[in-house]
Amino acid sequence: MKGGEELLTVTKLLRAFGGVLAVSSVDFQVKRGELLGIIGPNGSGKTTLVNLITGFVKPNAGEVRFKGKDITGLPPYRIVGMGIARTFQMVKPFYQLPAFKNLIVPLCSPRIKGLLGGSYGDRDAVALDLLEEVGFERDANVAYKPAGALPQGYLKRLELAKAMALRPELLILDELFSGLSLAEVASIVPIIEKLRFQGKTIIMIEHRLKELFRIADRVMVLNFGMKIAEGKSDEVMADEAVKKAYLGSEAG
Amino acid sequence: MKKRKERIDRGIKVRSEDVFALTSYRELLYLTAPRLLPVFGLLILVPLSPPYWQEIFISTAVYALLAISWDILVSVGLISLGQSLFYGVGSYVAGALNHYCGLPPVLTIPIATVTGAAICTIALLPVLRLRGIYFSMVTLVLPLMILRLVEATRILGGTEGLTGLSPFPNQITAMYLANCCLLVALFGFRRLMDSDYGLIIRGISDNDRSVMSAGINIHWYKTQILFLGGTVGCFAGAFGTHHDMFAGMPGFALDYSIMPIAAAVVGGTGTFAGSLLGAFILVPLSEILRALGALRIVFYGLFLVVFVVGLPEGLFHYIRRKYHQFERWVEVE
Ligand SMILES: Nc1ncnc2c1ncn2[C@@H]1O[C@H](COP(=O)(O)OP(=O)(O)OP(=O)(O)O)[C@@H](O)[C@H]1O
Ligand SMILES: [Mg+2]
């Protein structure tokens, strides 16, 4: 597929909760194969933006286009079916189930059935392979432990594996690094770089600016629901409005 | 020297889920006995009981079916307070087909099972999206509304109901029909919940947003489960109506809503076997307590409270745990 083609186009997207404009007329585009970082202080509307794109929240106005098709307001399962997968900021595993069984649910989705035809082979084996890909050591048997017994670092990886299991074209990661140690972040970064190498398009929402800037092609900054800056990492950090937004709220 | 109780897992269950060969008849028996027990009980012991008790066991089977139907709805996170909706609809569909069209039970029961479930599913479809208590409220109100509708419009025999419906040839036929269907529902649902499909169902009740983000249409799955639970409930109604030779307003009564829930809770939810066990304790117990006259409901209530407080996990979960473990005393310093 040729690079540079627009994969996701968001125009004048708006959503209010009561009197709060959580997302206020945001426009942006993501090209195929690109990694877009989205940053912004707490409560600036990043998660809401993800929810709007993935159909978990309906917009009051505006439009989302994916691969040229209007997907505004479609239910989440339809949007996943078209090839957008997301992770949740607050991990949402099935706590009683063994970690690898958590992946059975996405592997049963109509998207995967459609992509691979009726027979998938052994779902458990596919699930175990996926977990190994995100850093579950095979010999340590972590994949067989109930998700409820896993530390945060593994739960975040599991969350990533659940999204990867859907074989998305666009992957949206909502604060995948939050709550992780530097070493854990350092071990996940190569996984993301590998996904990029495979040609996946990724949107990353992050508070960990240093790690994000190293891998992002482009960064967009939100504040009070509005886009205040967009561009290369260093350009964005030099921006006066961005400095002001982050002053006193985040050290960066 | 102190003593401490030590629990050891027998481990056969764990191994048997992989491909390990079973090493002895004892192990084979250990694994199959829990499955053979309900089959043996329902197909041999119960039909051998005296006629008076056979009658009670037939109504027990009806409540057990409603309890299993309740349990499958709970497994997808739908809490029904109106199992009588299924009983009543199944009962009236079968009754009407028999009374007005003269169809025999061989036809009315299957038709009522499927169309009744479809009617109930369609009736509940608008509230399926609602979470938690809202769905429950509607299931509670719907049978009561239908009840008043029948009373006010005098359709389907009005307050008199439809009487003189075709009975089953004899009690044994009725008993085997009910008990076989009970076993099919029990083992069928247990198998279903062990499959990947069941994993999705449990996932929906655990965390529906997570299942939605996995690209799965949760409303479609909920609809399927509602229909499945509906078939079991409507079968109970259609069966009961031919057994009683009567379809009427009592079909929508609260009894059919409360008893199944009590049975599932006493027996333990999420296993279907618990619902069966609970029904086979509570319904005969309520018969035995009949001798106490007016005090019956007091003792019955007391029993329920003691049970739920003493074994909040449910009887079946407790028995299952004990079965897979054995305990011994070990000395500790
Ligand atoms: N479901 C909701 N109902 C009401 N208000 C909401 C809802 N979701 C988000 N909000 C509000 O919208 C605003 C943006 O929230 P959002 O979660 O999108 O921010 P965020 O940028 O993801 O913050 P964080 O960095 O803390 O994750 C906040 O003021 C929040 O209180
Ligand atoms: Mg957020």
From A81-90, A116-125, B27-36, B102-111, the region with the lowest mean pLDDT? A116-125
* Range B205-228 average pLDDT: 95
Task: Please judge whether A93 and B210 are an interchain contact, meaning their C-beta atoms are less than 8 angstroms apart.
Answer: yes
Task: Please judge whether A162 and B196 are an interchain contact, meaning their C-beta atoms are less than 8 angstroms apart.
Answer: no
Q: What pLDDT, in 10s, does the model give residues A7-44?
A: 999 999 999 999 899 999 999 999 999 999 999 999 99
Q: How confident is the model at residue A2, as a pLDDT?
A: 45
**Residue B302, number of CB atoms within 10 A of its CB:** 11
Interface with chain A: mutation pick from B209, B213, B218, highest number of A CBs within 10 Å: B213
Nearest CA in chain A to B198: A105
* CA–centroid distance, residue A20 to ligand 2 (Å): 15
* % of chain B at pLDDT higher than 70: 91
Residue of minimum CA distance from atom 14 in ligand 1: A45
The larger pLDDT score, comparing residue A250 to residue A117, is at A117
Task: Please judge whether A77 and B218 are an interchain contact, meaning their C-beta atoms are less than 8 angstroms apart.
Answer: yes
pLDDT band at residue A247 under the 50/70/90 scheme: low
* Range A117-141 average pLDDT: 84
Task: Please judge whether A109 and B215 are an interchain contact, meaning their C-beta atoms are less than 8 angstroms apart.
Answer: yes
Query: Could you tell me which residues are beta bridge partners of residue A23?
Result: A15
Q: How confident is the model at residue B23, as a pLDDT?
A: 64
3-state secondary structure chain B: CEEEEEEEECCHHHHHCCCCCCCCHHHHHHHHHHHHHHHHHHHHHHHHCCHHHHHHHHHHHHHHHHHHHHHHHHHCCCCCCCHHHHHHHHHHHHHHHHHHHCCCHHHHHHHHHHHHHHHHHHHHHHHCCCCCHHHHHHHHHHHHHHHHHHHHHCHHHCCCCEECCCCCCCHHHHHHHHHHHHHHHHHHHHHHHHCHHHHHHHHHHHCHHHHHHCCCCHHHHHHHHHHHHHHHHHHHHHHHHHHHCEECHHHHCCHHHHHHHHHHHHHCCCCCHHHHHHHHHHHHHHHHHHHHHHHHHHHHHHHHHHHHHHCCCCHHHHHHHHHHEEEEEEEEC
Choose among B200, B210, B216: nearest Cβ to A92.
Answer: B210
CA gap B214, A162 in Å, rounded: 7
Residue of minimum CA distance from atom 11 in ligand 1: A22
Query: Which of A221, A161, A191, A189 has the alpha carbon at shortest distance from B214?
Result: A161
Which CATH number fits the domain A6-83+168-249, given the four candidates 3.20.20.70, 2.160.20.10, 3.40.50.300, 3.30.930.10?
A: 3.40.50.300
Task: Please judge whether A86 and B196 are an interchain contact, meaning their C-beta atoms are less than 8 angstroms apart.
Answer: no
Tell me how close the Cα of B33 comes to any Cα of chain A, in angstroms.
Answer: 27
* CA–centroid distance, residue A206 to ligand 1 (Å): 15
The amino acid sitting at A150 is L
* % of chain A at pLDDT higher than 70: 95
DSSP state at residue A7: E
The larger pLDDT score, comparing residue B212 to residue B26, is at B212
CA gap A77, A109 in Å, rounded: 9
Choose among A95, A105, A112: nearest Cβ to B200.
Answer: A105
CB A229 within 8 A of CB A198: no
* Range A77-101 average pLDDT: 93
CB A47 within 8 A of CB A71: no
Contacts of B192 in chain A (CB under 8 A): none
Q: Which helix (H) or strand (E) holds A60?
A: none
Half-sphere exposure of B130 (CA within 13 A, CB side): 14
Torsions phi, psi for B31 (to 5 deg) = -80, -35
The larger pLDDT score, comparing residue A80 to residue A117, is at A80
Ligand 1 site, residue A44, Cβ cutoff 6 A:
yes
CA gap A26, A238 in Å, rounded: 21
Tell me how close the Cα of A126 comes to any Cα of chain B, in angstroms.
Answer: 14
Whether chain A has a CB inside 8 Å of the CB on B197: the answer is yes
Name all domains of chain B by residue range, CATH numbers in brackets.
2-13+55-332 (1.10.3470)
DSSP state at residue A146: B
**Residue B129, number of CB atoms within 10 A of its CB:** 11
Token reading at A63 = 């439009």
The larger pLDDT score, comparing residue A4 to residue B300, is at B300
Interface with chain B: mutation pick from A51, A86, A105, A141, highest number of B CBs within 10 Å: A105
CB B263 within 8 A of CB B278: yes
pLDDT value at A154 more than 80: yes
CA gap A162, A174 in Å, rounded: 13
Helix-helix angle B273-288:B171-194, to 10 degrees: 140
Query: Which of B81, B114, B110, B85 has the alpha carbon at shortest distance from B98?
Result: B110
Residue A67's Cα: distance from chain center in Å?
A: 18
The larger pLDDT score, comparing residue B12 to residue A130, is at A130
Task: Please judge whether B202 and A94 are an interchain contact, meaning their C-beta atoms are less than 8 angstroms apart.
Answer: yes
Strand-pair category, A218-223 with A35-39: parallel
CB A76 within 8 A of CB A56: yes
- ipTM summary value: 0.89
pLDDT value at B330 more than 80: no
Q: How confident is the model at residue B22, as a pLDDT?
A: 58
Q: How confident is the model at residue B159, as a pLDDT?
A: 87
End-to-end Cα, chain B, rounded Å: 5
Residues of A43-57 as b/e, b for ≥16 C-beta within 10 angstroms?
ebbbbbbbbbbbbbb
The angle formed by the CA atoms of residues A93, A95 and A97, to the nearest 5 degrees, is 100
pLDDT value at B108 more than 50: yes
Domain ranges for chain A: 6-83+168-249, 94-153
Task: Please judge whether A54 and B203 are an interchain contact, meaning their C-beta atoms are less than 8 angstroms apart.
Answer: no
CA gap B127, A6 in Å, rounded: 40
Task: Please judge whether A106 and B215 are an interchain contact, meaning their C-beta atoms are less than 8 angstroms apart.
Answer: yes
Q: What pLDDT, in 10s, does the model give residues A194-236?
A: 999 999 999 999 988 888 999 999 999 999 999 999 999 888 8
Q: How confident is the model at residue A223, as a pLDDT?
A: 93
Which residue reads 């008990």 in tokens?
B179
Q: How confident is the model at residue A41, as a pLDDT?
A: 92
Q: What pLDDT, in 10s, does the model give residues B132-178?
A: 789 999 999 999 999 999 999 988 988 899 999 999 999 999 999 99
pLDDT band at residue A249 under the 50/70/90 scheme: low
pLDDT value at A61 more than 80: yes
Burial class (CB in 10 A: 0-12, 13-18, 19+), B47: middle
Which of the ligands is closest to the CA of residue A174? 2
* Range A53-61 average pLDDT: 96
Q: Which atom of ligand 1 is nearest to the CA of A45?
A: 18
pLDDT value at B289 more than 60: yes
Whether chain A has a CB inside 8 Å of the CB on B18: the answer is no
Tell me how close the Cα of A106 comes to any Cα of chain B, in angstroms.
Answer: 5
* CA–centroid distance, residue A58 to ligand 1 (Å): 14
The angle formed by the CA atoms of residues B109, B35 and A104, to the nearest 5 degrees, is 85
CB B146 within 8 A of CB B92: no
Choose among A54, A88, A94: nearest Cβ to B203.
Answer: A94
CA gap B133, B123 in Å, rounded: 17
Contacts of A166 in chain B (CB under 8 A): 214-215
Query: Which of B165, B180, B59 has the alpha carbon at shortest distance from B104?
Result: B165
Interface with chain B: mutation pick from A47, A50, A77, A167, highest number of B CBs within 10 Å: A77
* CA–centroid distance, residue A43 to ligand 1 (Å): 5
- pTM score, whole prediction: 0.90
Q: How confident is the model at residue A144, as a pLDDT?
A: 92
pLDDT value at A1 more than 50: no
pLDDT value at B14 more than 60: no
Task: Please judge whether B203 and A105 are an interchain contact, meaning their C-beta atoms are less than 8 angstroms apart.
Answer: yes
* Range B258-269 average pLDDT: 93
Tell me how close the Cα of B319 comes to any Cα of chain A, in angstroms.
Answer: 21
Whether chain A has a CB inside 8 Å of the CB on B194: the answer is no
